[in-house]
A and B are shown apart, each in its own frame.
Chain A
Amino acid sequence: MAELKIADACLTVAGATLVRNASVKITPGELVVLLGPNGAGKTSLLRLALGLLPPDSGHVTLDGVAVSKVVPAERARSIAYLPQTRPLAWPNRVRDIVALGRFAHGVVLGKLRTVDAVAVERALLACDLLALADRNADTLSGGELARVHCARAIAATTPLLLADEPTAALDPLHQHQVLQLLRGFVDDGGGALVVLHDIALAARYADRLVWMKDATVVADGTPAETLSVERMRDIYGVEATINSDGAYPRVSVEGPA
């Protein structure tokens, strides 16, 4: 059981408050989407959660231990991370990139142990990448690359996953594919915290929405509880219509408020 808990955390960098008194909990079995306008502090919250930045006050704990004190490899066996920019330095094989997800398990490329090879194959299968496994990364489309990065995170077989805008610059089909992969990860018993800008997508797939504005978490609850016309106006400054008749709320943004 892995539990990542951000409790009353503040982060100030060079005089600017990036995160103020934020409390968020991520546990397996839940897909949490972090929403908020640009500059609201979503990426900073993710970095806090990962222990890349220690909080100025408050606590960020992984199973009760301060996450910034956890050894990098040990943390990586509990939390997989998909950062916003994922520049690949070399045109590596898809299979190798996915295998790097298991770096903290001691993977040496080209000499995978059975347990690692099995996890890599499973991740490739889950992300529909078997046909591309031996292709070089520079021959892939943006949508295919996004799946490769998802597979990399899934191959890590961590209980938790943090993803920063995994659907950025993807067409609608690939956006849904990525969210379905994350949904599958959660349905298999993982816990995920995902930053998204597409509220409709968030409402469709998330178990819980965490709303941020001006470095503060302003709401935390299920899409049905927290998604409202007023909140869309307050957080994003847009007029939206929301249809709550179906299995999940459908939201469409009409224009600036």
Chain B
Amino acid sequence: MIERALNPFLLVASLAALFAACLLGSTPLPFERVLAALLGQASGGDQLVVWQIRLPRAICGFAVGAALGASGAVLQGLLRNPLAEPGVLGVSACASLGAVVALYYGFAASWAYAMPLAAISGALLATGFIASVALYTQSVVTLILIGVGLSSFAGAAMSLLLNFAPTPFTLADMINWMLGSVANRSFTDLWVVAPFMLLGGVLLFSSRRGLSALTLGEEAAIGVGLNIKRLRLAVVVGAGLLAGAAVALAGAIGFVGIVAPHLVRPLVHHDPARSVLPAALLGGLLLVIADIVVRVLPTTTELKLGVVAALIGAPAFAWIALRRRGGDG
């Protein structure tokens, strides 16, 4: 019952949150005016606020959260481990490094696709590396330590680039990416990364059935007829595309990929395949809400979405790690 209602509920809640994101802000707009603006029947000023500022920002937040939620859910299915997530495994950090490299050398300013391609390359390298290490070890601890190593390495490389930043503007740009935010994003920004997100999403969604089989363990999964090499490739490429595109759009935003799948898993009988879609929807919903909170908080400087996500997500990560059923550590 809950299972059947889950996706429709999350969809409706997400749409409501997107609508709320258009209502709320430094100058709250009344319900009728937002509705009129969405239908294209409002004054020029309202149209501008809704279509150029609030809606693209909210949809970008949703896309980023959905991408991270989905890639978290499939990585957890593939590695058979509730702690796997783009952020924890160092995938987001490597994608950020790619993005920062593109900013540092000025590629990002001269070609719109430079940033997403650089971020996605970083993410794919990291997911490929993690998945190939996972072939040799069943130890969750090893994988997470390797993620920590990847994150630290990418962090150090980024610090190096910050150190050598040619101008203060580049420096500010790079720091903004590392903190993570969807402020001032336009539909143009979204269209640039959308093809990568779409491709990644299709790859993950079409391979999700294999994740159910992996529940049984790799050998038994092969025994029931899973083509594990194909699954691994699809997940690595799909999760890399999604995490890389998310970073290209919003910078590094951690822990959504771990919290969203964790919350939906008990509602879908712990089936990794059935958790992909609701994890994506919930990830999107969480980030839209978090972004509304960031915007309406009366702070002098607007908080960065990535900072808020980490402030909430990191304790959640620790809590999940503590509650994890022991055994395969």
Digitize A187-226: 1 where CB-to-B-CB distance is under 8 Å, 0 elsewhere. Answer: 0000000000000000000000000000000000000000
The interface residues of chain B lying within 8 Å CB-to-CB of A88 are 215-217
Interface residues of A in 31-46 (CB under 8 A from B): none
A-B contact pairs, 13 of them (CB 8 A): A52-B219, A72-B222, A73-B227, A83-B220, A89-B214, A92-B269, A92-B270, A93-B270, A96-B212, A104-B224, A108-B209, A110-B268, A136-B270
Chain A residues whose CB sits within 8 angstroms of the CB of B271 once the complex forms: 90, 92, 96, 109-110
Q: Among A80, A93, A96, A109, which residue has the most Cβ atoms of chain B within 10 A? A: A109
Are B216 and A152 in touch, CB under 8 angstroms? yes
- From the candidates A52, A108, A109, A136, name the one contacting B222 in the complex (CB within 8 A): A52
B32 within 8 A of A: no
Bound-state CA distance A192–B309 (Å) is 53
**In the assembled complex, B285 has its CB within 8 A of some CB on chain A:** no
Instruction: Flag whether A85 is at the interface (Cβ < 8 A).
Output: yes
B325 pairs with A100, CB closer than 8 A:
no
List chain A residues, Cβ under 8 A from B219.
Answer: 52, 81, 83, 85
Contact of A89 among B215, B222, B223, B268 (CB under 8 A): B215
Q: Is B3 an interface residue (CB 8 A)?
A: yes
Once the chains are docked, how many angstroms separate the CA of A88 from the CA of B328? 10
Q: Does B83 touch A at the CB level, under 8 Å? A: no
Contacting A87 at CB < 8 Å: which of B217, B225, B226, B274? Answer: B217
Q: Does B184 contact A (CB under 8 A)?
A: no
**Given A81-B220, A96-B269: A89 in contact with B225 (beta carbons within 8 A):** no
Docked-complex contact A83 and B209, CB < 8 angstroms: no
Classify the secondary structure of A's interface with B: mixed
Does chain A have a CB within 8 A of B241?
A: no
Which residues 43-95 of A sit at the B interface, judged by CB distance below 8 A? 50, 52, 72-77, 80-83, 85-93
The one of B3, B216, B223, B268 that contacts A50, using a Cβ cutoff of 8 Å: B223
A-B contact count (CB 8 A): 96
Taken together as a complex, chains A and B put the C-alpha atoms of A26 and B271 apart, in Å, by 35
Contact of B223 among A80, A109, A136 (CB under 8 A): A80
Residue of A nearest to B77 (CB): A89
- Does B304 have its Cβ within 8 Å of any Cβ on chain A? no
**B213, A73: Cβ atoms closer than 8 Å:** no
- Contact between B225 and A97 (Cβ–Cβ < 8 Å)? no
Q: Which of B81, B213, B219 has the most CB of A within 10 A?
A: B219
1/0 contact string of B211-248 vs chain A (CB within 8 Å) = 01111110111111111000000000000000000000
Please report the total number of A residues contacting B with Cβ < 8 Å. Answer: 35
User: Given B224, B268, B328, which contacts A100 in the complex, CB threshold below 8 Å?
Assistant: B224
Q: Is A171 an interface residue (CB 8 A)?
A: no
A176 CA to B277 CA, complexed, in Å: 43
Please, how many angstroms separate the alpha-carbon atoms of A156 and B265 in the complex? Answer: 26
Kindly supply a per-residue 1/0 record for chain B positions 60-76, scoring 1 wherever the CB is within 8 Å of any chain A CB and 0 otherwise. 00000000000000000
Smallest CB-CB separation from B212: which chain A residue?
A: A109
Say if the beta carbon of A103 comes within 8 Å of chain B.
yes
Taking CB as reference atom, which chain A residue is nearest B3? A110
Chain B residues 192-210 with CB under 8 Å of chain A are: 209
Residue of A nearest to B223 (CB): A81
Q: Considering the complex, which residues of chain B in the window 229-283 have a beta carbon less than 8 Å from any beta carbon of chain A?
A: 265, 268-274
Q: Mark B306-329, 1 if CB is under 8 A from A, else 0.
A: 000000000000000000010010
Q: Is the CB of A138 within 8 A of B325?
A: yes
Task: Say how far A138's CB is from chain B's closest CB, in angstroms.
Answer: 7
B33 at the interface (CB under 8 A from A): no
- Checking B225, B227, B270 against A90 with a beta-carbon cut-off of 8 angstroms, the contacting residue is B270
Min C-beta distance of B320 to chain A, whole Å: 13
Write the nearest CB–CB distance from B119 to chain A, whole angstroms: 30
In the assembled complex, A101 has its CB within 8 A of some CB on chain B = yes
